[in-house]
Structure 1
Amino acid sequence: MARTAAALGARGASRKPSLLFFTDPERTPEIEAAMARLPRGAAVVYRAFGAADAEPRARRLLAAARALGLKLLIGADAALALRIGADGVHLPQRLAAQARGLRHRGLLVTAAAHDLPAARRALAWGADAVVVSAIFPSASPSAGPPMGPVRLAALVRVVGGPVYALGGVNDKTARRLLPTGVVGIAAVEALRT
């Protein structure tokens, strides 16, 4: 996956990471170990899902990210991202409108989108990029039906902004995303080991 992400990153002059590692308390319990295997310039999206220790854990992850040359985005909590000085925030589709208030706060803002209208809305509200899912069949309990690389490429052509691909992305499927026009790839379990 790192090679595919590097190929995507080498195509453009984007300052956006070409690889996003999404954490999940159940599926990625060893976040720091996974971070140590990521290539420099990748980003970690820390999703605390309401954990009581979210802030101290986010601060530790930020320190680790800085030491490893990674970026840290906080999932669904812009206030926490701003408080700890994270590099950005990732907004679930239901919170994408919050991107409006974050445009000039110095954060990289990504937003989840599960279809073209949601992706267009998130970009119009000020998201720097959208993370579209699911692309391939996924083990995620929240993954919808996969759209596949052909439909993803069609979305990328008309959406009007940068797109990341998430959902079932792994070493075998990532290469199929090269011709789609995405700026990067994202994964949960494929990056944990």
Structure 2
Amino acid sequence: MAGVRYSDSMGTRQSLPNLWLLSDARNDELLPRALRALPPGSAFVFRHYHLDPRSRRARYDELLPLVRDGGHLLILSGSDDQARAWGADGSYGPPEAVGDAPELLRIVTVHDANEIAHANAAGADAAMISPVFATRTHPDIPPLGPEKFHALAALAEMPVIALGGMTFERAKELGWSRWAAIDGLALKQHS
């Protein structure tokens, strides 16, 4: 599927990145190394749900220079207004949270056909479908597996990002070049 195109901070039209690193309490201390190791032009989704609002903003501000130095997209888990106020390139959340913010990339997280239908209707710019494989984030949720993932991806009217237990090896197994991970990118050095 053709990717959404967006304008970077220099006004240059770009395609959505293939690699997306998500933050989490368990990969927090590894994020500086992981952000430096990401290929230029990747994406970083700042979540950090485990922190109180003041600490969350402080950690965002600490990581911001590394994200920008790497030429990465910075997506904030939060509202469009918050993403705008924090200087992020986009927002991340459920399909029902997609607002009318054409200057931001609106990335949604979806798990089933109903949520994909909501993402399509909302005009989301990309959808993270999860969990593709077993994941530590949601150990009690059965993974979709390749067949169900591909069936759901076919319903999406926007680019799809595979999430959940993803690694370079699993992306190859899945036959999907655009993917996101918490552990799969933070725990491993990449060239």
Distance 1:98 1:142, change over 3 A: farther
Paired letter, 1:67: D
4+ residue runs of structure 1 moved beyond 3 angstroms?
A: 11-14
Correspondence for 1:185: 179
For the Cα contact (< 8 Å) 1:28–1:188, is it kept in 2? no
Give the whole-Å Cα distance in 1 for the aligned partners of 2:106 and 2:70: 21
Match of 1:53, SS state, is: helix
Distance 1:29 1:39, change over 3 A: same
Normalising by structure 2, we get a TM-score of 0.82
Correspondence for 1:145: 142
Matches within 5 A, 1:161-176: 161-176=158-173
Matches within 5 A, 1:25-40: 25-40=25-40
For the Cα contact (< 8 Å) 2:108–2:127, is it kept in 1? yes
TM-fit CA distance, 1:101? 3.1
Alignment length, in residue pairs?
Answer: 175
The sequence identity of aligned pairs, in percent, is: 29
Query: Which residue, 119, 122, 145 being the options, matches 1:122?
Result: 119
The answer for unaligned runs of 5 or more in structure 1 is 1-10
Correspondence for 1:78: 80
Correspondence for 2:92: 90
Match of 1:172, SS state, is: helix
Match of 2:16, SS state, is: coil
Give the whole-Å Cα distance in 2 for the aligned partners of 1:115 and 1:86: 27
Normalising by structure 1, we get a TM-score of 0.82
Pairing 1:136–2:133 present: yes
CA deviation vs aligned residue, 1:99-120 (integer Å, no higher than 9, x gap): 1333x2x111111101111012
The answer for unaligned runs of 5 or more in structure 2 is 5-14
Give the whole-Å Cα distance in 2 for the aligned partners of 1:77 and 1:157: 27
For the Cα contact (< 8 Å) 1:135–1:165, is it kept in 2? yes
